[in-house]
Structure 1
């Protein structure tokens, strides 16, 4: 595994972890598990805990990267997810907050 492939997989893992655990667009997935199993259940905790969820997402992505990392079908989505994560960080931390 090359350093470039490792960094792309790392960025994709970070973005997908944030998508599942925090982002507004995936709120229905989190709400489903919380409603279905209750707020104190392990599944409800899993989908809201970035430390917990990142192990599973990273495990899956790094396995895919190991076997299919040089394929454009892996590299292109990994690049897009990594770019999305980095742009989101930059937009959140480098741009001044808008004041109404």
Structure 2
């Protein structure tokens, strides 16, 4: 599913475009997913499953950020 979306973006905007980079960069994708999960958690009333998913994505972001600072 995601590969098809990435291919569609690359075909539409080109392989070296900013939109292609944003959907193929794992660092960028985790940010978009965290934003989507945060919005979903807000609208769903904060169910436990969404809280866990949002926390996991947030920790993923923090780990990526820390790895950049520590390198």
Give the shorter-chain TM-score range: 0.5 to 0.7
**Residue 19 of structure 2 corresponds to which residue in structure 1?**
43
Dislocated runs of 4+, deviation >6 Å: none
Query: Structure 2 length as normaliser, TM-score?
Result: 0.55
Consecutive unaligned residues of structure 1, counting only runs of 5 or more, are 1-24, 83-100
Query: Structure 1 length as normaliser, TM-score?
Result: 0.41
Comparing both chains, which one has the higher relative contact order based on Cα–Cα distances under 8 Å and sequence gaps of 6 or more? Answer: 1
Give the number of aligned pairs: 50
In the alignment, structure 1 residue 62 sits paired with structure 2 residue 38: yes
| Per-residue Cα deviation, 1:62-81 (whole angstroms, up to 9, x for no partner) | 232245212xxx83xx5xxx
Q: Secondary structure at the match of 1:47?
A: helix
- Of Structure 1 and Structure 2, the greater helix share is in 2
**Per-residue deviation, 1:49:** 0.6
Question: Which structure: larger Rg?
Answer: 1
CA RMSD of aligned residues (A): 2.2
